[in-house]
Amino acid sequence: MTKVASHPPTPSTMTSTQKDNVVVVGGGISGVTVAQGLSKKLDHRKFNLILIEPRPFHVWLPAAARMVVTSDEKFAETAVFPFDRVFAKDKGTVRQDKVVSIKTGKGEEAGELELASGETLQYRALVLATGSKWSGPIDLPDSEADFRKCVTQWREKIRAAPDIVIVGGGAVGVELSGEIRDEYPEKHITLVHGQDNLLNDTYPAKYRNRVKAGVAARNIDLMLGEFVTEFPPSGSGELVLRSGERLNAGLVVITSGPKPNTGFIGTSLGPEALTETKLVKVEKTLQLRSHPAIFAAGDIVDWKEQKQAAKANGHGPVVVANVLNLLAGKPDRKEYGGFPEIIMITNGRNGGSAYLPYLWGIVLGSFITVLVKSKGLLIWMTRAKMGY
């Protein structure tokens, strides 16, 4: 795994009296998209651009399901990228740190961040793109050593288990089941999902049925409309379902939906900044309500849409345009109007299906899905985005 070659902090990025800081918090795909957009358009004579991320590298999460299953020990290295080329013309600084609190100014005035390292950092504009907290095998640690250890441990647990129960039939659970079947054709795999069909009702029945048929065709048992009421304490053993049925599993893998990584936002800005599900309340401009110098992007945004990497392409341009206008003192603000609910789900390297919400709703089969995503998981696209 290549180590990050981030720019060291300088006095100008921490306590500059000549330049204000524009800070992006979060080095996932949304944070990277915003940081890159700002690095191309920001007046660097007046502003420092700083990206704060606790990991020393960017992880392309759509590759995580294969990462924790494959016997190819080098695969993980193809899906993580250092941040040293993330900015256009090297115009920005990466800080490997974590924000623990936000102190806001009045209205559009500058505020201050407190970092886990103990440092404080002034900001003129702040973008929060802290992403999601995941469960199961894609709950990946921040440090390089722990990251490697986690991936290796999951590979070993999956390899050793004679039968595996995956709890959660969203995109992650479906893709993980396909990766396991690719690697281990003889393992007994069961996928448990609380709804009567895979995925959720964002997508039409014809597409959900296509996904279900693809999973079933690979000899993966489906238990739909079921909830697990009792989990084994050790990650293996007996599960009890709502129906009363019991399952024995050599390994239980939880792939239920992610939770927004917004804890410090709520404690800093007050509970009124978040919804009941801990998403960040935003205006159509993706500015936080009552905090016009703070923006949000990615999974943490309270918007009725699926949480997907592709949404960065919708959020990013809106945030970049509005940050620039804020800094220039211009009243114009761009509004986010949503993003098409396109989905492409792999079923191992040689299968999958896609849904395009155009015309009558277009369902595509394995040929296109394999060509676009299943073979390479779009790693080439992320490699180019990260400058590699």
What are the pLDDT digits (tens) for 201-254?
Answer: 999 999 999 999 999 999 999 999 999 999 998 889 999 999 999 999 999 999
Query: Which tens digit of pLDDT belongs to each residue from 89-134?
Result: 889 999 999 999 999 988 778 899 999 999 999 999 999 999 999 9
Considering the domain architecture, whether residues 297 and 344 belong to the same structural domain is answered as no
Considering the domain architecture, whether residues 225 and 295 belong to the same structural domain is answered as no
Helix/strand/coil (H/E/C) assignment for every residue in the chain: CCCCCCCCCCHHHHHCCCCEEEEEECCCHHHHHHHHHHHHHCCCCCEEEEEECCCCCEECHHHHHHHCCCCCCCHHHHCEECCCCCCHHHCCEEECCCEEEEECCCCCCCEEEEECCCCEEEECEEEECCCEECCHHHCCCCCHHHHHHHHHHHHHHHHHCCEEEEECCCHHHHHHHHHHHHHCCCCEEEEEECCCCCCCCCCCHHHHHHHHHHHHCCCCEEEECCCEEECCCCCCEEEEECCCCEEEECEEEECCCCEECCHHHHHHHCHHHECCCCCECECCCCEECCEEEEEECHHHECCCCCCCHHHHHHHHHHHHHHHHHHHHCCCCCCCCCCCCCCEEEECCCCCEEEEECCCCCEEECHHHHHHHHHCCCCHHHHHHHCCC
Q: How confident is the model at residue 109, as a pLDDT?
A: 82
Considering the domain architecture, whether residues 267 and 289 belong to the same structural domain is answered as yes
Inform me whether the pLDDT recorded for 14 exceeds 80.
Answer: no
Within-domain flag for 335? no
> What is the pairing mode between strands 291-296 and 125-128?
parallel
Considering the domain architecture, whether residues 236 and 359 belong to the same structural domain is answered as yes
Inform me whether the pLDDT recorded for 10 exceeds 80.
Answer: no
Within-domain flag for 284? yes
Of 328, 348, 363, which residue constitutes the final position of a domain? 328
Within-domain flag for 333? no
Considering the domain architecture, whether residues 143 and 203 belong to the same structural domain is answered as yes
Higher pLDDT, 88 or 332: 332
Inform me whether the pLDDT recorded for 385 exceeds 60.
Answer: yes
Inform me whether the pLDDT recorded for 9 exceeds 80.
Answer: no
Within-domain flag for 173? yes
Considering the domain architecture, whether residues 80 and 220 belong to the same structural domain is answered as no
**Structural domain for 237, as ranges:** 136-257+340-385
Considering the domain architecture, whether residues 288 and 321 belong to the same structural domain is answered as yes
Considering the domain architecture, whether residues 316 and 199 belong to the same structural domain is answered as no
Q: Computed over its alpha carbons, how large is the radius of gyration of the chain?
A: 22
Query: Which tens digit of pLDDT belongs to each residue from 71-81?
Result: 998 999 999 99
Domain count, the chain: 2
- Specify the pTM: 0.93
Inform me whether the pLDDT recorded for 12 exceeds 60.
Answer: no
Within-domain flag for 4? no
Q: How confident is the model at residue 13, as a pLDDT?
A: 43
Considering the domain architecture, whether residues 244 and 355 belong to the same structural domain is answered as yes
Within-domain flag for 98? yes
Q: How confident is the model at residue 2, as a pLDDT?
A: 38
Within-domain flag for 196? yes
Considering the domain architecture, whether residues 228 and 265 belong to the same structural domain is answered as no
Considering the domain architecture, whether residues 93 and 52 belong to the same structural domain is answered as yes
Mean pLDDT of 189-193: 98
Within-domain flag for 118? yes
Q: How confident is the model at residue 18, as a pLDDT?
A: 80
Flag the least confident range among 85-89, 189-193, 346-350: 85-89
Mean pLDDT of 289-306: 97
Mean pLDDT of 56-67: 97
CATH of the domain at 307: 3.50.50.60
Q: How confident is the model at residue 327, as a pLDDT?
A: 97
Considering the domain architecture, whether residues 280 and 291 belong to the same structural domain is answered as yes
Q: How confident is the model at residue 17, as a pLDDT?
A: 53
